[in-house]
Structures are given as C-alpha cells and as structure tokens.
Amino acid sequence: MSPELYKYQVPYYHVIEKRVKEIDEAIMVFRAFFIPVESVYRFQLIKKDKMCNVELHKPLIDSLKNGDARSEEELAELLLLSIENESFWTDIQ
C-alpha cells in the first residue's frame, strides 16, 4: 500500500470528511492513501470497533474543485453505499 497521506495532501479532504459526518456522526476518517497505479484515493473509516475502506477515483475528487453538483452527488452516493453496506466493514483487531 502507498504511504499514508496527511489531510492537507488530500484534495478536498474537508468535503469528504463533511459528507461522512453527514451520513453518520460516529464515523471518523482514520487514514487516507493514494494508489498511483490505480489513480485512487483509499480512505479508512472507523466506527467503534469496525473499519471500512472506501476508494474514490482521483478524477472524481479533482472534479470537486469546479463546484460541480453532479460530482458532489456522486461522492455522496459512493460514500453512502459504502458506509451502509455491512460487508464493507471489518472488525478491528
């Protein structure tokens, strides 16, 4: 896996974090990685004793800078689908 990124290294991190909190206030964005080969940002979300990995493609995140409403909707849908799907969550050991 690629090295962990700091919040300031992830474009529009604050937007992603805000959307996660809108879905479930108890979830926190734990870590973020960038996987260059796949052009994907991977976010690890934590809720109590469970972790969920959410992958967002770089072009989607880049499109947020234009204030594109469709991109915001797509982001919200992807996050919601991932967070609500129990099979995406694994126990933390």
Other CB atoms within 10 A of residue 91 CB:
8
Q: What is the pLDDT of residue 3?
A: 85
Main-chain dihedrals φ then ψ at residue 16, nearest 5 degrees: -65, -45
pTM more than 0.75 = yes
pLDDT 10s digits, 37-83: 999 999 999 999 999 999 999 999 999 887 778 999 999 999 999 99
Q: Is residue 66 part of a domain?
A: yes
Q: Is residue 91 part of a domain?
A: no
Main-chain dihedrals φ then ψ at residue 18, nearest 5 degrees: -65, -45
Q: Is residue 92 part of a domain?
A: no
Give me the domain span that covers residue 67.
4-86
| Domain count along the chain | 1
How far CA 77 is from CA of 1, 6, 10, 73, 74, in Å, comes to 25, 24, 20, 6, 5
| Residue 1 pLDDT level (bands cut at 50, 70, 90) | low
